[in-house]
Structure 1
Amino acid sequence: MVSRTYCLAYLCYYHLSFGLPSFRLLSDQRWNTKQVLHGRCSDVSCSGRKRTWMCALLQNLSLYGTDIAYVITTSTSMRAIQKSNCYHREGHKAACSYGDTSYMLLFGGVQVVMSQIPDFHNMEWLSVVAAIMSFTYSFIGFGLGFAQVIENGRIQGSITGVPADSVADKLWLAFQALGDIAFAYPYSIILLEIQDTLKSPPPENKTMKTASMIAIFVTTFFYLCCGCFGYAAFGNNTPGNLLTGFGFYEPYWLIDFANACIVLHLVGGYQIFSQPVFAFVERWFTNKFPGSGFVNNFYTIKLPLLPSFQMNPLKICFRTAYVASTTVIAMIFPYFNQVLGVLGALNFWPLAIYFPVEMYFVQKKIQPWTRKWVVLRTFSFFCLLVTIVGLIGSIQGLISAKFG
């Protein structure tokens, strides 16, 4: 729940104007993702081999980056639980300071085990738990912000948002906010993987269109409520994350519960974004080394009090290395808002806008310089500008946070 609230009005416009059309375009791609280079184009001719490989590379990097962000966010929430209890015992002025490293390592250890879930199709229960947790902490954040506004008796802050020392600093903050907002809807990079798990009839793309519209409206509602009421409650002192930045201290048990929900949500979320990477890499190794026992052999393992299960050496090694690498990078760059901004800017235009538009042109045989072609080209170019300024601002913020 990133509170870059001087851009909140733009958030609603941004995603309803840009996010919804791009998801509708992407949902129209009814290709079987099992036959593709990671779910973007089932026929190389639809957008060219180079574009297909580039899309696959960007998508996998985006999924990898999202998992890094989830490690950071989870450790922040786990630390917030400990700080909340400390403030409750020692008082709000106490020096309750804790590091992130141990929490990141703990989360990484959990993910090493969870990463052995075979594939996307075995994750329905985990997705349901993650969704319930997401709704729970969103309602809590919304409710706490609303209650704080009532307690204050007035709306904090101003229409121009958080002040800065100079116009340049204000622009950097605004640019970084664009990156944060772009990260708010990261599921476009796994939309086709999710669509491929659906059964028809009705057609998968129609089901996904309906689901995408509902998801965008619901999440936009929660983002706006949490962000607007958070800023109205705390004004220019609004923390970057309402539930971990300690705008709220009491009731401490509710803060703890909300952060525990975030942790449980991200345990599942990490797997949702990592499983497509696992599938892509393991499929590549299987095709490249069909005779390798390390790649293709499965071994049955029986542990006391547990049912027997099958393990594959490649899966154990690669998935463990993947989790370890995301954990290490998160430990090097543990900066919540800045990392989200960089990832959001990198993901937004190429994966949520450019490739869906290009595939739509090919599939629907849209001719150059027709009205629809001009509108979509203009739409894509404007989103490219948003990505560029968001990326510049977020990188500047990340460098400033790292090196002061």
Structure 2
Amino acid sequence: MGEGEDEYQQQTPLLTNLPLQLPPSPSSDGHYKRTGTTWTATAHIITGVIGSGVLSLAWSTAQLGWIAAPVVILIFAGITNVSAFLLCDCYRSPQPETGLIRHRSYMEAVKFNLGRNSIWVCGLFQQISLYGTAVAYTITSAISMRAIQKSNCYHKEGHQATCAYGDTFYMLLFGAVQIVCSQIPDFRNMEWLSMLASIMSFSYASIGFALGFAKVIGNGRVKGSISGVHTATTAQKVWKVSQALGDIAFAYPYSIILIEIQDTLKSPPPENQTMKKASMTAILITTFFYLCCGCFGYAAFGDQTPGNLLTGFGFYEPYWLIDFANACIVVHLMGGYQVYSQPVFAVVEKWCAERFPNNGFVNNSYTIKIPLLPGLTINLLRLCFRTCYVLSTTGLAMLFPYFNEVLGLLGALNFWPLTIYFPVQMYFVQRKIAPWTRSWIILQAFSIFCLLVSLVALVGSVEGLITAKLS
């Protein structure tokens, strides 16, 4: 570590993401060791990015057509990469008294660079985005578990069988698993889960790509058209295209968890260099899979492309491979749910710890000895709050079980403020960029363009959700 880092550690106490946890690996000066590398950061990013969004990309490609869809996917990849690079440089900030200081969360960076007024707006959008993603993952996991049952039914009864099953039981089952997983203290304790989830995401994305490719070969032709799916009216086409933009927007950005991931990285080398390398690697990998799944899915089914590539049952055989792919999705989403929920847990529990420093319910931890297993550390606030959080996301998912519509709405609602506006504004402060300079004009134009895209996607996604609820 450099001189600024040493000076900072000597003068300023460490503010962890979750101050209630017991230190797993204290260094000599009592601070937590950060042991993350490029590969662990890449695993965290892929776990957060390649999620339920990849399964809707074939449908999105079908709405946009052969030319527009790949171009839009590449544009969103570029936008996400620019945003990530801007945000990586906001992890550290100079301070006259203490030298360089670290921000351990997206919210801390916004508060330091943009002030208290901005943090309220940012906090609202961030918590909605994180909470909404947890709801979306609950919906997707239930759909995938139901698809396994339907796949087995179709194999036994034939492809024309009814094979109708509900989602409620599977949502409750996923919620029960998340109640247990939510007791993982924070990001520092879940590297193994992110690694496992990343392997699962590669597996099912590869299976989706391979099945689409095989079906194209079996069909003997490439389906689809330049204009995409034909609709009865121009208005319907506009709504579908807008919703497709929202789905693609949901599939990419991870800005709201980037700084939390960056805070796990060891230094040297500087964290921003490592994080930029991890971001570039993760975005290249995800873009490859997105293009493969989206394009080959559309090429295989054309206008009949399902909303969810692996659960819409364009593919029936081999049924065991469909089952395995959906099982991989469920395992991946178990980790993805935690990646997006841990920042919410950290904000609430940190606030409680600061507000009630002497309260035993908030601050005391208890170790339970289980035969043949490591001791289990329980904090009552963590147990109660996180259980209620999981129950609420499960209940909301049961109320709005609409896959494509929910993904589009979440992507459109949060894409511009969290992925574009706040990173750009913080970068202006970090680099002291004056208004109306060349860099200021370019970044402001970039921000305005992304705002217009978000508004178009938001209108289409709201219309889609209302239509799905009424139908």
Q: Do both share a fold (TM > 0.5)?
A: yes
The answer to whether the 8 A contact 2:150-2:163 is kept is yes
Q: What is the identity, as a one-letter code, of the residue corresponding to 1:71?
A: T
Please name the residue that 2:465 is paired with: 398
2: CA distance, partners of 1:31 / 1:59: 20
**Matched ranges for 1:218-229 at <5 A:** 218-229=285-296
Distance 1:293 1:35, change over 3 A: farther
Aligned ranges 1:59-78 → 2 under 5 Å? 59-78=126-145
Amino acid at match of 1:236: D
1:269-284 map, 5 Å:
269-284=336-351
Q: Which position in structure 2 is the counterpart of 1:300?
A: 367
Match status 1:238 vs 2:299: no
Mean Cα displacement is larger for which, 12-21 or 106-115?
Answer: 12-21
- Displacement of 1:88: 0.1
1:170 is matched with: 237
C-alpha deviation, 1:35, in angstroms: 6.8
CA displacement 1:242-275 (0-9 Å, x = unmatched): 1110010000000000000000000111111111
What is the match of residue 78 of structure 2? 17
**Alignment partners' CA distance in 1, 2:110 and 2:151:** 53
Residue equivalent to 1:338: 405
SS at match of 2:128: helix
Which sits farther off after the overlay, 180-189 or 257-266? Answer: 180-189
- From 150, 160, 164, the equivalent of 1:97 is 164
Partner of residue 268, structure 2: 201
2:246 paired with 1:179: yes
1:4-403 → structure 2 map (5 Å cutoff): 4-5=60-61, 6-7=63-64, 8-31=69-92, 38-42=105-109, 44-403=111-470
Equivalent-residue separation in structure 2 for 1:364 and 1:35 (angstroms) = 16
* Alpha-carbon separation, structure 1, partners of 2:271 and 2:78: 23
Query: 1:81 touches 1:255 (CA, 8 Å); kept in 2?
Result: yes
Partner letter of residue 395 of structure 2? V
Deviation of 1:57 after TM superposition, in Å, equals 2.6
Worse-matched range after superposition: 200-209 or 6-15:
6-15
Opposite residue 97 of structure 1, the aligned amino acid is: A
**Equivalent-residue separation in structure 2 for 1:39 and 1:223 (angstroms):** 26
Deviation at 1:292? 1.0
Looking at structure 2, the residues matched to 187 and 389 of structure 1 have their Cα atoms a distance apart, in angstroms, of: 21
**RMSD across aligned C-alpha pairs, in angstroms?**
1.6
What is the count of residue pairs matched by the alignment? Answer: 404
Conservation of the 8 A alpha-carbon contact between 1:31 and 1:41: no
1:31 Cα deviation after fit: 2.8
TM-score, structure 1 length as denominator?
0.97
Partners of 1:344 and 1:136 in 2: CA distance:
24
For 2:243 and 2:458, how far apart are their aligned partners in 1?
A: 7
- Cα shift at 1:188: 1.7
Alpha-carbon shift at residue 305 of structure 1 (Å): 4.4
Question: What is the deviation of 1:159?
Answer: 1.1
Identify unmatched segments of 5+ residues in structure 1: none
* Sequence identity (%): 65
Which letter maps to 1:22?
Answer: S
Comparing 15-24 with 157-166, greater Cα deviation is found at: 15-24
Output the CA distance in 2 between the equivalents of 1:225 and 1:280: 37
Describe the SS at the equivalent of 1:183: helix
Q: Deviations over 1:82-124 (max 9, x none)?
A: 0000000000000010000000000000000111111110001
Q: Deviations over 1:179-228 (max 9, x none)?
A: 10100114221011000000011111111111111111111111111110
1:45 Cα offset (Å): 4.8
Give distance in 1, aligned partners of 2:179 and 2:113.
37
- Tell me the distance in 2 between the aligned counterparts of 1:63 and 1:289: 25
Inter-partner Cα distance in structure 2 for 1:64 and 1:218: 26
Give distance in 2, aligned partners of 1:242 and 1:44: 40
Give the 3-state SS of the residue equivalent to 1:116 in structure 2: coil
Q: How far off is 1:28 after superposition?
A: 1.3
CA–CA separation in structure 1 for the residues paired with 2:420 and 2:375: 45
Q: Secondary structure at the match of 1:160?
A: coil
1:299 aligned counterpart, secondary structure = strand
C-alpha contact (below 8 Å) 2:223/2:299 kept by paired residues? yes
Superposed displacement of residue 12, structure 1: 2.8
Whether the aligned pair in 1 keeps the contact of 2:110 and 2:119 (CA below 8 Å) is: no
Shift of residue 56 of structure 1? 2.5
Gap change, CA 1:351 and 1:299, over 3 Å in 2: same
| Aligned-pair CA distance for 1:162 | 0.9
Which residue in the other structure is 2:38 paired with?
Answer: none
Asked if structure 2 preserves the Cα contact closer than 8 Å seen for 1:180 and 1:337, the reply is yes
Kept after mapping to 2: 8 A contact 1:41/1:47: no
Distance 2:78 2:376 in 1: 47
Is 316-325 or 268-277 further displaced after alignment?
A: 268-277
